[in-house]
């Protein structure tokens, strides 16, 4: 076992494309972080497309909708509430919330999660810094919506070398399956909602449109901020 870093932040996203919950610790199941991306809103007329979800790419204001569980440690058994930018709070399944998001928009729930590719995503602080140097500005992790942010040893973009390997993080064993292909979502700053197309251009030009990695669970377990990240032989 080789220690390659430590966990410095954790996020789950109860509703796809809405704001994430930053966590101190979380249980990771076969289907990703417990409670992660269990809900999503579908765009009217797109139900049969390959990507029907309403996302920040289509509606940047989604980043200012803040979902949370009434019982954070039992997300699968507790109601999901969403606080809107105006300060109102709705149950995620309330028709009034869907109506606020657009004509014909409706919500769906998937107990296994609504994922673009794989249930876990990981990014390193070195990758954030390396991309920041390419675009000439400091970048924050929430723009890229990872589940795990790792402070790693070594040079820029260290997680690329972990593809095909297994990481052990406390009780969790996570296989690193692929580099994360990025889209226009990363151009939007989730704080200000301002777009910076140069970020996606740099990832496309310098990184083959990929940044960070996707993974899947080999052994479920609990992870916490501060946990060492070990690379299995």
- pLDDT tens, N- to C-terminus, the chain (233 residues): 899 999 999 999 999 999 999 999 999 999 999 999 999 999 877 666 667 889 998 899 999 999 999 888 888 878 999 999 999 999 999 999 999 999 989 999 988 888 888 999 999 999 999 999 999 999 999 999 999 999 998 788 999 999 999 999 999 999 999 999 999 999 999 999 999 999 999 999 999 999 999 999 999 999 999 999 999 99
Domain 2-231: which CATH number of 3.40.50.1860, 3.10.20.30, 1.10.1060.10, 2.40.33.20: 2.40.33.20
Q: What SS3 state is found at 31?
A: coil
Of the candidates 104, 108, 109, which has an alpha carbon nearest to the alpha carbon of residue 44?
Answer: 104
The residue to which tokens 């140069």 are assigned: 198
Contacts of 62 (CB under 8 A, 6+ apart): 17, 18, 54, 55, 56, 101
Structure token digits, residue 135: 């675009």
Name the CA dihedral angle for 95, 98, 100, 102, rounded to a multiple of 10 degrees.
-130
* DSSP-assigned letter for residue 115: -
Domain ranges of the chain: 2-231
Give dist(CA 199, CA 201) in Å, integer: 5
| pTM of structure | 0.94
User: What does the chain come to in residues?
Assistant: 233
What number of other Cβ atoms are within 10 A of residue 51's Cβ? 10
CA terminus-to-terminus distance, the chain: 6
Q: Are 36 and 147 in contact (CB under 8 A)?
A: yes
């Amino acid at each position: 076992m080789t220690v390659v870093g430590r966990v410095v932040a954790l996020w789950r996203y109860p509703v796809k494309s809405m704001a994430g919950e930053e966590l101190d610790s979380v249980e990771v199941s076969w289907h990703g972080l417990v409670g992660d991306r269990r809900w999503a809103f579908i765009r009217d007329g797109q139900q049969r497309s390959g990507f029907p979800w309403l996302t920040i790419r289509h509606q940047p204001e989604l980043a200012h909708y803040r979902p949370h569980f009434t019982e954070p440690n039992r997300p699968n058994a507790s109601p999901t509430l969403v606080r809107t930018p105006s300060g109102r709070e709705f149950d995620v399944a309330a028709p009034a919330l869907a109506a606020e998001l657009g004509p014909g928009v409706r919500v769906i729930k998937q107990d296994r999660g609504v994922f673009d590719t794989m249930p876990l995503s990981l990014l390193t602080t070195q990758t954030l810094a390396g991309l920041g140097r390419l675009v000439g500005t400091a970048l924050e992790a929430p723009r890229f919506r990872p589940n795990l942010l790792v402070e790693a040893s070594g040079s820029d973009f260290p997680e690329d070398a972990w593809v095909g390997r297994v990481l052990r993080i406390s009780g969790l064993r996570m296989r690193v399956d692929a580099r994360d292909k990025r889209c226009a979502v990363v151009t939007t700053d989730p704080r200000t909602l301002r777009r910076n197309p140069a970020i996606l251009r740099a990832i496309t030009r310098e990184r083959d449109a990929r940044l960070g990695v996707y993974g899947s669970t080999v052994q479920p377990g609990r992870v916490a901020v501060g946990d060492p990240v070990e690379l299995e032989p």
